[in-house]
C-alpha cells in the first residue's frame, strides 16, 4: 500500500521531556520514517516533540515503515522517557505540533510523563502448547474422554455429538486458561508498576498483557519471565517483547480542534 505524502508535513513519533534534547546534547542519530529525513525535536518549555519531515516519503502501512517508527522511539527511549504516538500520525506543520499538541496539551502531557517516569513497557503473551493442552483436557475431564472414545468407536457419528465434545472442550480451555493466566499474573505483577490485560483473540492464547516496569526492575522482571518459561517448558509458550515505549499506559486522545 503506497501512501505518498506530497505536501509539506510533519510526522510525529512521540513527546519527551525537553532536557535531554536541548542544545549541547547530541542529535538523534537514527533515520526517520522512509529512511530519509533527519529526526529532530520541536521544543516548547519542558516538552520536546520528536518529529521528521515527510514530503516525498511513502509512509504507508509497510514493514519497513513500522520498523522505522519503532526504531526512532527505541532510540529516544534509550535517552529519556517518551510518550509514543500511534503509527502514521502526520501534522500539517511544525506550528501545528507546537500549538495543538505541545501548547494545548502541555499539562496533560507533563502529567503522563510523570506517570511513566523511569519506566518502560514489557509485553508478555502466553500461548498453550496445543497438543499438550488437548492431552491434558482428555486426561482431566472424564466426560470429554468418554465422548471422545464413543465418537472414535462409532463409524457414523453424528455431528451433534462432535459439537457437544467441542463445546465441552472449549469450556475446559476457558477454565484452564484463566487458571494459568492468574498464576502468571501473580508472579509478574510483583515486579511491575502497572499492568494492562487485553483480550485473548486467539483460541490458544491465554494471556495478553502489557506491564509498566521501572528501568531498574527490568532485569528482575526478565528473570521472572524466563523462570516461568523454564518451569512451563513444553506446556506454555511465552512471547516476550521489550523494552518498548509505554504505549499501553497512555490515556490521551487529542481532538485537536484548536
**Which positions from 146 through 175 interact with another protein, judged by CB under 8 A?**
148-149, 151-152, 159, 162-163, 165-167, 169-170, 173
Distance (Å, whole) CA 69 – CA 66: 5
Is-contact 199 177, C-beta < 8 A? no
Sole binder of another protein in the list 71, 110, 115, 183 (CB under 8 A): 71
Beta strands in 109-181 (DSSP E): 119-128
**Residue 6 Cβ, how far from another protein at the closest point, in Å?**
11
211 lies in the site for another protein, by CB under 8 A: no
Binding mask 106-145 for another protein (x = CB under 8 A): --x--------------x-x-x-xxx--xx-xx-----x-
Say whether residue 258 binds another protein (CB under 8 A): yes
Stretch in the footprint of another protein (CB under 8 A) among 16-24, 36-44, 69-77, 181-189 = 69-77
C-alpha cell at 105: 496539551
Give 189 or 222: the residue with its C-beta nearer to another protein. Answer: 222
The cell numbers describing 39, all together, are 529526526
Degrees, nearest 5: CA angle 206-120-208 = 10
Number of residues that bind another protein (CB under 8 A): 99
Residue/partner pairs of 215-218 with CB below 8 Å, 24 or more apart? 215/118, 215/119, 215/120, 215/243, 216/118, 217/191, 217/192, 218/120, 218/122, 218/242, 218/243
Q: Closest distance between another protein and the C-beta of residue 238, in Å?
A: 4
> Is residue 64 near another protein by the rule CB under 8 A?
yes
Q: Which of residues 228-247 bind another protein (CB under 8 A)?
A: 228-230, 233-234, 237-245, 247
Q: Which residue has the cell 510523563?
A: 113
Amino acid at each position: 500500500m503506497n501512501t505518498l505524502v506530497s505536501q509539506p508535513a510533519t510526522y510525529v513519533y512521540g513527546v519527551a521531556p525537553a532536557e535531554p534534547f536541548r542544545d549541547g546534547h547530541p542529535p538523534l542519530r537514527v533515520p526517520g520514517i522512509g529512511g530519509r529525513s533527519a529526526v529532530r525535536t520541536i521544543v516548547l518549555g519542558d516538552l520536546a516533540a520528536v518529529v521528521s519531515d515527510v514530503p516525498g516519503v511513502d509512509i504507508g502501512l509497510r514493514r519497513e515503515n513500522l520498523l522505522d517508527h519503532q526504531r526512532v522511539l527505541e532510540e529516544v527511549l534509550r535517552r529519556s522517557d517518551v510518550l509514543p504516538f500511534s503509527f502514521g500520525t502526520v501534522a500539517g506543520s511544525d506550528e501545528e505540533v507546537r500549538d495543538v499538541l505541545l501548547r494545548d496539551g502541555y499539562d496533560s502531557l507533563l502529567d503522563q510523563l510523570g506517570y511513566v517516569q523511569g519506566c518502560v513497557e514489557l509485553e508478555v503473551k502466553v500461548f498453550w502448547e496445543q497438543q499438550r493442552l488437548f492431552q491434558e483436557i482428555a486426561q482431566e475431564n472424564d466426560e470429554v474422554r468418554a465422548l471422545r472414545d464413543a465418537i472414535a468407536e462409532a463409524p457414523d457419528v453424528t455431528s451433534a455429538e462432535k459439537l457437544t465434545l467441542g463445546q465441552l472442550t472449549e469450556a475446559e480451555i476457558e477454565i484452564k486458561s484463566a487458571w494459568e493466566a492468574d498464576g502468571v499474573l501473580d508472579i509478574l505483577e510483583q515486579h511491575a508498576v502497572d499492568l494492562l490485560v487485553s483480550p485473548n483473540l486467539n483460541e490458544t492464547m491465554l494471556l495478553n498483557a502489557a506491564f509498566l516496569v521501572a528501568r531498574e526492575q527490568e532485569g528482575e522482571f526478565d528473570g521472572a519471565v524466563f523462570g516461568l518459561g523454564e518451569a512451563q517448558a513444553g506446556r506454555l509458550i511465552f512471547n516476550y517483547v521489550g523494552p518498548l515505549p509505554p504505549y499501553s499506559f497512555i490515556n490521551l486522545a487529542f481532538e485537536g480542534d484548536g
